Amino acid sequence: MAAVARAGFGRAFEVPGFRALWTATVQSQLGNQLARLALAVLVFDRTSSPVLTALTYALTFLPPMVAAPLLTGLADRFPRRTVLMSADLIRAVLIGLTALPGLPLVAVGVLVTLNACVHPLYSAASGAALPTLLPGDRYPVGAGVLAMTDMVTQIAGFGLGGVALGWLGGPRGCLAVDAATFALSALLLRSGLPPLRPGPSRSPGARRGGHGAALRMVLTDRRLAVPAALVWLYGLLLAPEALAVPFTHQIGAGTGATGWLMAADPVGALIGTLLLTRVVPQRWWPALLTPLAVAAGVPLIVSALAPALPVALVLWSLTGVLTCYITIAQVTYVRRVPDERRGRAAGVASAGLQTAQCVGVLVAGALAELMAPSTAIGVCAAVGVLLAVLLAAAARERRGRQDSAAPDQTTAPPLRTGTADKDPGGEPC
């Protein structure tokens, strides 16, 4: 039983469809990270403007906040392989156009924005397809693999970006390679992934409900709202990343220490997710969700004391390790949504996380104008811990009501009308 509970990575990679999805995702994510760097270099080379360079970089992150609610429902209306391939081919064309010589910067900005808008569609279709590709105890392992892959590609993409710029003849060469990675990803998905049609509708309005209906579905069902909100709390834990430069200056560390501090969280998260998926039995995951979410902000509260660089690195890395709770929350959330609604549910979660990250960064920056950077980090973390405690209490209250009443036999309510379904996950929060 322990071996089953600790299903190794091999159990996910035994499935051909998952191998195709993982391979396509890896190479397109690496290309995307490279493209972000290349676009920043391209704009700075042509304008020498830090503001325009930063704006171009921001355009790769901000549009999903708007696009996620509008596009992710497509993942519930068409075969998920078709949605994934279409998203990759659209991005291949858009990024390929940015590589054209002499393209006006306004056109570059428009293309970058459109490209970023497509990402939530790919993410929603991928997230909705994963439980179908990996049934049972394989699914949490596959979700962990993709989470770790995302962290590794972020680190590797930026770490190797400077070298790649030289190898590929500058930013335009990098952009051309990125376009090729998206085209290759579409080819891999076409050859290795089954169609993955959404499950049959349980009610006439299930597929027609828009983002507003999906948002109501999540917010009015505590079984969905709690894990979603726990994921969104991560926005408050981004304060160290937002304030890494002023924090480094405050503690008197050299400029080079900023990179180490910014790498601490993703490296810690990689370690935490690896331990979660390889060491911790899956039957323990539900019980660990809220304790890990509460604990994740505690090391950052200690950062309010402005510790020396080695201590700060340990604290920030420890927070990264504890944020492995996000994988548990995502698995819990997706399992509780019927297959025919998973695309829109993923859109709600994605838009919420993007918004929370932006708000978290802005709040951290505003606080740092009023107090020391270390104190601002500690305040954000303390608020995150408090909110996590309140969510944990809400989860316990729900379990108490279930224990005193009939067993829970409902899943997420339909977007408009329909029948109730049994919870496939059985998670307690």
Contact 234, 323 (CB under 8 A): yes
Residue 394 is predicted with a pLDDT of 86
Choose among 64, 122, 68: nearest CA to 91: 122
Tokens of 345: 């549910």
- What is the DSSP code (8-state) at residue 47? H
Domain tally, the chain: 2
Range of the domain at 362: 208-429
Tokens of 330: 């995502």
Are 87 and 222 part of one and the same domain?
A: no
Question: Token pair 């209906």 is at which residue?
Answer: 213
Give the global pTM.
Answer: 0.73
Question: pLDDT category, 285, cuts 50, 70, 90?
Answer: very high
- What is the DSSP code (8-state) at residue 336? T
Q: CATH number for the domain including 278? A: 1.20.1250.20
Element (H, E) at 319: helix 309-322
Summarize pLDDT for 215-240 with one digit per residue, the tens: 787 888 888 899 999 999 999 998 88
Structure-model confidence comparison of residues 171 and 331, the more confident one: 331
**What is the average pLDDT value for the chain, to the nearest integer?**
81
Q: Which amino acid is at 179?
A: A
What gap in Å lies between CA 217 and CA 212, rounded to an integer? 9
Contact 65, 116 (CB under 8 A): no
Are 193 and 215 part of one and the same domain?
A: no
Contact 63, 113 (CB under 8 A): yes
Question: pLDDT category, 12, cuts 50, 70, 90?
Answer: confident
Tokens of 386: 């408090």
Tokens of 362: 């802005």
B/e letters for 248-262, b = 16+ CB within 10 Å, e = fewer, are beebebeeebbebbb
Residue 373: CA atoms inside 13 Å, Cβ hemisphere, count?
Answer: 20
Residue 427 is predicted with a pLDDT of 46
Domain limit, last residue, from 148, 166, 198: 198
Residue 413 is predicted with a pLDDT of 38
In 63-104, alpha helices (H): 64-71, 80-98
Domain limit, last residue, from 198, 227, 259: 198
What gap in Å lies between CA 161 and CA 174, rounded to an integer? 9
What gap in Å lies between CA 358 and CA 235, rounded to an integer? 7
Top mean pLDDT of 59-63, 215-219, 293-297, 348-352 is at 293-297
> To 5 degrees, how large is the angle CA 128–CA 134–CA 157?
70
Summarize pLDDT for 89-148 with one digit per residue, the tens: 999 999 999 888 888 888 887 888 888 888 888 888 888 888 888 888 888 888 888 888
Are 17 and 134 part of one and the same domain?
A: yes
Question: pLDDT category, 46, cuts 50, 70, 90?
Answer: confident
What gap in Å lies between CA 260 and CA 173, rounded to an integer? 29
Flag the least confident range among 5-19, 181-195, 318-332, 386-400.
5-19
Flag the least confident range among 312-326, 340-354, 372-386.
340-354
Summarize pLDDT for 155-211 with one digit per residue, the tens: 776 667 667 777 877 788 888 888 998 999 999 999 998 888 876 555 545 445 555
Report yes or no on 203 lying in a domain: no
Residue 159 is predicted with a pLDDT of 64
Are 288 and 354 part of one and the same domain?
A: yes
Contact 123, 311 (CB under 8 A): no
What gap in Å lies between CA 122 and CA 104, rounded to an integer? 28
